[in-house]
Amino acid sequence: MSVNVYWEDVEVGQEITNWSRKTDFMHWNRYAAVNDEFVYIHMDDVAGRAALNEQGAFGMGNLRFAYLHNMLRDWAGDEVQVRKLGCQYRAINQKDDVLTCVGTIVAKRVENDEHLVDLTVDVKNQEGQSTAPGEATVALPSRNGD
């Protein structure tokens, strides 16, 4: 059991540990292979430019969703249970962008014997632009063992 954070240790307004990744074809190909998502606009610069008049191939929205999940797990540890995670895709992720997932605790409560923490989350690019704002709820372990 790997616990990084207990429910008693977090406070409303606290920012959680950021999670970053520079995206490129290697990361996109790895994600596409696992999810059977080989789509030309994500793999080929010509197709990406033709589809959206973009710079070239662009990243998958669902990969940013996975990055948010990675952030929550890295912050809270193996015992965290992600109860809710959602986001909106508001900007294109270009090749070689550095994406940073951020989160802020907005509420904590005990409900149905679970120690829950609500967060606002986002994936920001290297210019600080919000690309995938959303929200999450996680169940954390309690130091009291209940």
Nearest Cα to Cα of residue 25 among 6, 45, 7, 8: 45
Number of domains in the chain: 1
pLDDT digits (tens, 9 = 90+) for 35-90: 777 777 777 888 888 887 668 888 888 889 999 999 999 999 988 999 999 999 99
146 found inside a domain? no
pLDDT at 139 over 60: yes
What is the pLDDT, as a whole number, of residue 26?
81
**Can you give the pTM of this predicted structure?**
0.89
pLDDT digits (tens, 9 = 90+) for 96-126: 999 999 999 999 999 999 999 999 999 999 9
Nearest Cα to Cα of residue 106 among 13, 8, 7, 18: 13
CATH code, domain with 83: 3.10.129.10
2 found inside a domain? no
Burial 102-136, CB ≥16 within 10 A → b, else e? bbebeebeeeeebbbbbbebbbbbeeeeebbbbeb
1 found inside a domain? no
Distance between CA 106 and CA 14 in Å, rounded? 8
pLDDT at 130 over 80: yes
49 found inside a domain? yes
pLDDT at 1 over 60: no
19 found inside a domain? yes
pLDDT at 146 over 70: no
- Print the domain residue range for 20: 7-140
145 found inside a domain? no
pLDDT at 131 over 70: yes
CB 7 within 8 A of CB 108: yes
